[in-house]
């Protein structure tokens, strides 16, 4: 049996001949050559809409009124009359302090007032008798003046005694510690039997719950923006108008709480470069409590016309944003754009597009170069994933 051995060069020439033959066949009639079909994409027209913009901040919920309740007198705490953590009303009794000493003092001062009143009555009678005798020339002028002086002294003593009685009764009333505001009471920090003093004892705390504040900070840039808008009349200053505010907690989707601005600080903090703002929110069910983290949106502009596109249409090339614009010949051309913030689920376009232009919102990755031909399926800008109609090419999901 004979074995033919081919050299490496002869094997290479043989493979090249086969490849050339396959290429000729593929390019010949019926070989499947030619340009690929246009890519099926979803397109949408640029939306033109009147909008207002909102600026986002982070803040904290804060009580409108906060009271650290302290005694006004010294004494031993007698009783606690509330349940810790409950809602209390203004004037409601919270604590009592042993009042025996203060009650005795008030009783003593009340007796002093009665004695002073008696002295005043006697001095008045003496003055009246002296005046009658003086009319008959039976007493001297000096004696008459002395009686007037005694009456004035008795009246002054009465006023002094009355003042001491008022002070004693006031101290007696301070043995009953009541709520100075409506709100939620905290823990009873001192228990019955302990000595309390005005200078060092905090009995409990009370925070108001309705309405409630949300406090946040903005930087110099945002403050200067608002000032410029106020001067131009686009948006009123929050110092002069109660601009709307939307608030959401960490667990909320969106911003379910509505409020309005009620304060802007009078200076920029030089340490942080920020200025404090505050909004008032109605809180009838007490759901918002002081200390909670809050997401805050403040009205950031007046109403104006804007071009809006879906986020899915925007591509990134290093530091530039771009979209594909589809013309009347269904040619997709790259267009660099400048985009702004999100509004109602769409992105504002400040440069690069015009109203009525069609852009690719789904299937962008099927376009490999600017100027490619596409098979567009027109959909709403808010629904880039909408399925193609019957007979239309299905875009990339």
Give me the pLDDT at residue 229, please: 92
Using one digit for the tens of pLDDT, what is the confidence trace for 160-175? 999 999 999 999 999 9
Structure-model confidence comparison of residues 2 and 136, the more confident one = 136
379 φ/ψ angles, rounded to the nearest 5 degrees: -135, 165
**What share of the chain in percent tops pLDDT 70?**
89
pTM: 0.69
Q: Kindly list the distances between the CA atom of residue 62 and the CA atoms of 25, 55, 67, 189, 281, in Å, as whole numbers in the listed order.
A: 80, 21, 13, 22, 10
Task: With residue 77 as reference, give the H or E element that holds it.
Answer: strand 75-80
**What share of the chain in percent tops pLDDT 90?**
65
Structure-model confidence comparison of residues 309 and 26, the more confident one = 309
Give me the pLDDT at residue 145, please: 83
Give 213's strand partners: 62, 280
Give me the pLDDT at residue 395, please: 54
Q: Which of 26-35, 241-250, 350-359 has the lowest mean pLDDT?
A: 26-35
Give me the pLDDT at residue 345, please: 84
Reply yes or no: is the peptide bond before residue 279 cis, omega within 30 of 0.
no
What is the layout of strands, in order, in the sheet containing 66-69?
Answer: 66-69, 204-207, 183-185, 87-88
Mean pLDDT to the nearest integer, 198-223: 94
Give me the pLDDT at residue 397, please: 44
Give me the pLDDT at residue 76, please: 96
Mean pLDDT to the nearest integer, 147-171: 92
pLDDT at 312 over 70: yes
What is the layout of strands, in order, in the sheet containing 75-80?
Answer: 176-178, 93-97, 75-80, 195-196
- Do 224 and 230 contact (CB within 8 A), yes or no? no
Give 217's strand partners: 276
Mean pLDDT to the nearest integer, 63-75: 95
Q: How confident is the model at residue 106 (pLDDT cuts 50, 70, 90)?
A: very high
Q: Which of 363, 356, 357 is nearest to 315 (CA)?
A: 363
DSSP 3-state assignment of 197? coil
Burial class (CB in 10 A: 0-12, 13-18, 19+), 55: middle
Rounded CA separation 257/248 (Å): 6
Give me the pLDDT at residue 243, please: 94
Q: How confident is the model at residue 304 (pLDDT cuts 50, 70, 90)?
A: confident
- Do 60 and 291 contact (CB within 8 A), yes or no? yes
pLDDT at 84 over 50: yes
Q: Kindly list the distances between the CA atom of residue 234 and the CA atoms of 53, 225, 299, in Å, as whole numbers in the listed order.
A: 12, 11, 11
Structure-model confidence comparison of residues 99 and 303, the more confident one = 99
Q: For each of the domains in the chain, give its residue range(s) and CATH number, in order of start.
A: 39-51+305-378 (2.40.420.20), 54-64+209-303 (2.40.30.170), 99-174 (1.10.287)
Rounded CA separation 21/15 (Å): 10
User: Which residue do the tokens 């232009």 mark?
Assistant: 357
Q: How confident is the model at residue 23 (pLDDT cuts 50, 70, 90)?
A: very low
DSSP 3-state assignment of 347? strand
Rounded CA separation 260/238 (Å): 9
> Token pair of 389, please?
């109609």
Structure-model confidence comparison of residues 267 and 344, the more confident one = 267
Rounded CA separation 94/90 (Å): 10
Rounded CA separation 215/185 (Å): 22
Task: With residue 104 as reference, give the H or E element that holds it.
Answer: helix 100-135
Give me the pLDDT at residue 27, please: 45
CA angle 326, 332, 334 (to 5 degrees): 105
């Amino acid at each position: 049996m004979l074995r033919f051995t081919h050299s490496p060069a002869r094997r290479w020439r043989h493979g090249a001949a086969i490849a050339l033959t396959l290429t000729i066949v593929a390019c010949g009639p019926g070989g499947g050559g030619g340009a690929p079909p246009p890519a099926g994409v979803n397109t949408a027209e640029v939306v033109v809409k009147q909008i207002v913009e909102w600026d986002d901040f982070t803040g904290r919920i804060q009580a409108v009124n906060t009271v650290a309740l302290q005694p006004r007198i010294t004494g031993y705490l007698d009783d606690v009359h509330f349940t810790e953590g409950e809602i209390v009303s203004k004037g409601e009794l919270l604590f009592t302090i042993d009042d025996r000493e203060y009650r005795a003092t008030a009783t003593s001062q009340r007796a002093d007032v009665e004695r002073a009143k008696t002295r005043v009555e006697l001095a008045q009678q003496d003055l009246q008798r002296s005046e009658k005798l003086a009319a008959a020339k039976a007493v001297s002028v000096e004696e008459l003046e002395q009686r007037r002086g005694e009456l004035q002294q008795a009246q002054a003593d009465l006023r002094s005694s009355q003042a001491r009685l008022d002070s004693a009764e006031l101290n007696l009333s301070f043995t009953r510690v009541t709520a100075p505001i409506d709100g939620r009471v905290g823990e009873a920090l001192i228990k019955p039997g302990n000595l309390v003093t005005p200078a060092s004892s905090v009995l409990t705390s009370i925070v108001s719950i309705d309405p409630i504040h949300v406090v946040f900070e903005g930087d110099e840039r945002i403050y200067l923006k608002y000032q410029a808008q106020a001067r131009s009349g686009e948006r009123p200053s929050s110092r002069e108008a109660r601009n709307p505010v939307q608030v959401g907690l960490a667990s909320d989707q969106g911003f379910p709480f509505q409020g309005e601005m009620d304060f802007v600080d009078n200076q920029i903090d030089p340490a942080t470069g920020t200025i404090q703002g505050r909004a008032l929110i109605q809180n009838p069910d007490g759901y918002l409590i002081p200390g909670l983290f809050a997401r805050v949106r403040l009205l950031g502009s007046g109403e104006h016309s804007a071009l809006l596109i879906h986020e899915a249409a925007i591509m990134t090339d290093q530091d530039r944003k771009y979209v594909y614009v589809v013309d009347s010949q269904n040619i997709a051309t790259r267009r660099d754009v400048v985009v702004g913030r999100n509004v109602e689920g769409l992105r504002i376009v400040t440069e690069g597009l015009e109203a009525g232009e069609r852009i690719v919102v789904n299937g962008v990755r099927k376009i490999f170069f600017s100027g490619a031909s596409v098979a567009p399926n027109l959909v709403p800008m808010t629904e880039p994933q909408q399925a193609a109609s019957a007979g239309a090419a299905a875009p990339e999901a």
